[in-house]
Structure 1
Amino acid sequence: METNDLPPRVPDLPASAPRPRVVVGVADTDESDKAVRWGAEHAARTGGSLHLVHAFVWPLMNVDVDPVPGVAGSGLRSAAETLMLHAVQHAHEIAPDVPVTSQIVEGRGADVLLAASREADVLAVGSRGLGRFLSMVMGSTSLALGRRADCPVVVVRGDEATDGPIGVAYEGSDLGTQALRRAGELAALYGAEVHVVIGVATPLSEHPRILETARRLIHEGHPDVTVELADGSAAHDAKSLVRLSEGVRALVVAARGEGAVSASSQTGAVVQYAHTPIWIERPLRRR
């Protein structure tokens, strides 16, 4: 994938301000490659740094990871090192000016990335994480992160570089307000509009008030961002959110809290079937 033709929208940060830290989980999958590309571009647009992490699970399974005697470059540990080298190179191709670091950590994917989330401003993973078979055996990494991470989680699905608006699912809660503001921030970074989706149980008479509330919240930080209702906006269920994800650059949803993201939940269904990156807004960490 070539870099976007538009110049990065790097915010004006004070010289002493910490740079945003984008962490990406790396695995040997096409979905992971998409996550690396998304993370590199997001780091470039935010003026941040990129940290790539690979969870080296094989020692937990008592598998021999050492090289075959006399065969240079063989063995699972060597393969992991090669995987990370290629991921770093790929990130530099997408965003040459972004500082990139990498790390191989022994452990399960979810455990390793949850630990990494403590020092991250956003954590991105491919939609399969450990891969199809290991996900069935060990659980979905992306859903575990959506439940418990200490920062927002982006599950990179579909076309990670599509144009279009930022979609956001409206909720009348503190985390829903946080999701609206996040959608405004992303729209400003990417030069996009915000399209708001409202729940099916909300009367049509309430839609103008909700749209005005969304505009007010988003315009507090980003007054130039256009905020509109999404087509078919009264459709805040998993199926309609998946349908909405076609043609948007990203879809922002609120995780609500511990335990609210599971394979059977609305957010979990969107994570598994959406056509675009899903930004799961998590409760803010206590400082």
Structure 2
Amino acid sequence: MTIRPGAPVVVAVDGSASALEAVRIAAREAVTRGRPLRVVHAFIWPLYDVSLAPAPGAPLHAGLRHRADQLVAEAVTEAGKVAPELAVTSAVLDGAATPVLLAESRDAVLLVLGSRGLGGFGGLLIGSVAVQVSAHADCPVLVVKGEGRADGPVLVGVDGSDLSTEALKFAFEEASLRGTDLMAVHAWIIPAAPSDLLPVAYDVQALVADEERVLAEALAGWSERYPDVPVRHRVAYGAPARMLVEESATAQLTVVGARGRGALAGMLLGSVSHAVLHHSQSPVAIVRRRREDRKD
């Protein structure tokens, strides 16, 4: 599917520090892509039939609706500090965060979220909204977490699946826009074996050759499309999620497909993408096909 030329980078705000950091990242993403920025806030209170007006005796500028308008205005101001010439629009949209953001994703080139909002529980690594939106959005979702780095490669997990190809496309585009190199990681395990030990009964050299072929075939042709992007790669035996999390320590962005070859139908995200989203040490982009291009 071709994304319309005016499609924006969309960022969600809720008044949290995590959301403001997402605004700063989203502004930079919009500038590098030559796209406008759209700041949105999901205003849930009308669903609960509560009064949105100021309480009796309170200032006229008080009230829930005014507060929502105010935090969006603060986010627009923050985006302007990062990119003064950037075209920015904003909206306060009635509804719960997840359905509002999924609707926004249908006409966005990228959706940017903070990893934790105001409603997060202390023990959660990633907020529930970020997980749900990453699993179902119609555009790539960038979850801002970990160390924000200006250096380091764009890291991408490759497993040979069709969605892994989509992740590679996104990763090459990001690496080209950021003027950095790409690190492609393909990790593999034998399901019946411990993830860190190779059973002696297997032909190790044949297995390694097969897995190196998977990565080589996945990367074929991309360097011709993106000659400005230096490519490094790593093929190793071990748990894919663990390897990606380790590599993310020196990456400026980690990219994974929403679900890979081993995903179970009932899972919101594949096990690898879910683990990387929770434990990555860099911002994470979750890539999923748009609704028109997928079967589910």
TM-score, with normalisation over the residues of structure 2? 0.81
Matched-pair identity in %:
38
Which of 31, 44, 48 is matched with 1:61 structurally? 48
Q: Is 1:179–2:167 an aligned residue pair?
A: yes
Give 1:179-198 correspondences, 5 Å limit: 179-198=167-186
Correspondence for 1:33: 20
**Greater Cα offset, 264-273 or 28-37:** 264-273
Report the alpha carbon displacement of residue 159 of structure 1 after superposing the two structures with TM: 2.7
- For the structure 1 residues 235 and 93, does the alpha-carbon distance in structure 2 shift closer, same or farther, using more than 3 Å as the test? farther
Which of 186, 201, 213 is matched with 1:209 structurally? 213
Q: Deviations over 1:230-255 (max 9, x none)?
A: 4x754443333222211201111001
Partner amino acid for 1:216?
A: A
- For the structure 1 residues 146 and 217, does the alpha-carbon distance in structure 2 shift closer, same or farther, using more than 3 Å as the test? farther
Structure-2 separation of matches of 1:220 and 1:21:
28
Q: Deviations over 1:58-96 (max 9, x none)?
A: 222333332133414222221111101110010111111
Correspondence for 1:275: 281
Correspondence for 1:247: 250
Report the alpha carbon displacement of residue 210 of structure 1 after superposing the two structures with TM: 4.0
Partner amino acid for 2:82?
A: I
Which of 286, 289, 292 is matched with 1:286 structurally? 292
Q: Secondary structure at the match of 2:131?
A: helix
Structure-2 separation of matches of 1:163 and 1:108:
36
Correspondence for 1:100: 88
Structure-2 separation of matches of 1:168 and 1:63:
45
- Tell me the C-alpha RMSD between the 2 structures: 2.5
Q: Deviations over 1:167-205 (max 9, x none)?
A: 000021111111112111110000111111112228332
Structure-2 separation of matches of 1:127 and 1:159:
12
- For the structure 1 residues 273 and 142, does the alpha-carbon distance in structure 2 shift closer, same or farther, using more than 3 Å as the test? same
Structure-2 separation of matches of 1:133 and 1:208:
42
- For the structure 1 residues 236 and 36, does the alpha-carbon distance in structure 2 shift closer, same or farther, using more than 3 Å as the test? farther
8 Å contact 1:211–1:228 — kept in the other structure?
no
**Greater Cα offset, 168-177 or 69-78:** 69-78
Partner amino acid for 1:284?
A: R
TM-score, with normalisation over the residues of structure 1? 0.84
Q: Is 1:47–2:61 an aligned residue pair?
A: no
Which of 125, 131, 153 is matched with 1:143 structurally? 131
Structure-2 separation of matches of 1:259 and 1:46:
34
Structure-2 separation of matches of 1:27 and 1:259:
30
Correspondence for 1:165: 153
- For the structure 1 residues 269 and 61, does the alpha-carbon distance in structure 2 shift closer, same or farther, using more than 3 Å as the test? farther
Q: Secondary structure at the match of 2:220?
A: helix
Report the alpha carbon displacement of residue 278 of structure 1 after superposing the two structures with TM: 0.8
8 Å contact 1:198–1:235 — kept in the other structure?
no
Q: How many residues align?
A: 267
Correspondence for 1:8: none
8 Å contact 1:162–1:247 — kept in the other structure?
no
8 Å contact 2:160–2:218 — kept in the other structure?
no
Q: Is 1:227–2:243 an aligned residue pair?
A: no
Moved >6 Å (runs of 4+):
none
